[in-house]
Amino acid sequence: MNSISVIVPTHNRPDLLQEALSSLEKQTVKPSEVIVVDDGSVKPVDEKLLKKQFSIELKVLFNESSKGLAWARHQGVEYATSEFIVHLDDDDLLAPDGIENVMELFESNPELDIVFLGVEGFGSRARYFNQAQKKSLDQILKRTFGPTTKENVHFFNDRLFGELLQSVPMAFQRAVVRRETWHAVSTFRFRCYSKIRDKDFIEGRKRITGPLRDSEWAFYGVALNKRFALIKNGLYLQRCEGQGKVSNPEQRQAQMNQLLCIKKKLYGASQKYGQLSVWENQIKSSLARSYFNTSYYHLSKGSRITSLKYLIKAVKLKPKPTYIKFFIRTFFPL
């Protein structure tokens, strides 16, 4: 069976890290290696203790200060030696048969570039998460079935990219990929953030520190590859206890701003690079829709000037009748 490395970034959550590593030790097919990246924890991870506690092959990397999730994940990949890569957050778990299911799929379909993992939430806030994710995922699956569907494994046609521009269910943010695929996608993604096209991997990486935009990686991963599938079963178990910033309603504006950043970079890249140019118009429409949604949000909060700013951007980018009517009725009522 092919080898797989699990990258586990962690920061100040030793108890949760223990649970994550326990889920890896309980795998029916053990990972070839687990790389824990301690991203500047106040109390550094005790590597010797972990190796005594767990029988899996463990490596621990240390950052003296926090570099952010994006940096930590790529740091782990750079040290990985296996053919395949999967990322596991330190507060999440893998189902016991997770690695076995994924590797069997890759072995029976060696042409695949990316396998997305079905996600199931657990914890006190899991019910809403699971309902929302199922609804979003079912909508995409209904419209993007490829020529083959086998049990809970779904193969996709080339419509998937356009569907992800509408929404990116968590299943498409949890993936197992070949190591070379990860590097190819990430290098291109970093280049899209650089003013100079030929910036190398290291220089490009410096532009994306802090929170890793998993949904953004999905855009570039699907755009640059042609062979991907989804295992719909809940192999990736996501904790839903409000422990992450994205779980807080107060973070909605920050999330909207992040989405705008993602789509602005994606749109700019579609104008420069042939790999994305085929989707330029779809990306443009998606960006305009995000500007419109942001405008509507700010208006609901009573920020008319900010709302107007984003609405103008939407109209300029894509003068849809809906946007124009909203502009006239809201800011120039009779």
Output the pLDDT for position 149: 63
Give the pLDDT of residue 2. 73
Instruction: Output the pLDDT for position 258.
Output: 83
CA dihedral 133, 253, 262, 12 (to 10 degrees): -80
- Quickly list H helices, the chain: 14-25, 47-53, 69-79, 98-108, 126-144, 160-166, 179-192, 201-205, 214-224, 252-272, 274-277, 280-300, 304-317, 321-331
The total number of structural domains that make up the chain = 2
Task: Give helix 179-192 / helix 252-272 axis angle, nearest 10°.
Answer: 90
Domain boundary among 247, 272, 304: 247
The mean-pLDDT minimum among 7-11, 49-53, 254-258, 307-311 falls in 254-258
* 263: CATH: 1.25.40
pLDDT at position 211 = 47
The reply to whether 16 and 114 lie within a common domain is yes
Instruction: For residues 196 and 113, state if they share a domain.
Output: yes
Residues 288 and 147 in one domain: no
- Give pLDDT, residue 293: 93
Domain that holds residue 291: 254-331
Domain match, 155 and 137 both: yes
Indicate whether 224 and 165 sit together in one domain.
yes
pLDDT for 333 beyond 90: no
**In a shared domain, residues 96 and 197:** yes
Do both 14 and 147 map to the same domain?
yes
18 and 129 belong to one structural domain: yes
Do residues 78 and 159 both lie within one domain?
A: yes
The four Cα atoms 207, 209, 211, 213 give a dihedral, to 10 degrees, of 40
Query: 204 with 114, same domain?
Result: yes
Helix (H, G, I), strand (E, B) or coil at 174: coil
Calculate the average pLDDT of the chain. Answer: 87
pLDDT for the residue 53? 94
| Residue finishing a domain among 194, 226, 247 | 247
Give the residue-averaged pLDDT of 1-10. 90
Residue 67: pLDDT band (50, 70, 90) is confident
The residue among 202, 230, 247 that closes a domain is: 247
The enclosing domain of 243 has a CATH number of: 3.90.550.10
Q: What is the pLDDT of residue 255?
A: 79
> Which two structure tokens, joined as six digits, stand for 306?
């900010």
Whether the model clears a pTM of 0.85, i.e. scores above it, the answer is yes
Query: Is there a single domain that holds both residue 236 and residue 280?
Result: no
Range of lowest pLDDT (15-19, 162-166, 189-193, 204-208): 204-208
Residues 9-17, mean pLDDT to the nearest whole number: 95
Q: 223-260 pLDDT, tens per residue? A: 999 899 999 999 999 999 875 544 445 567 777 888 89
**195, 285: one domain:** no
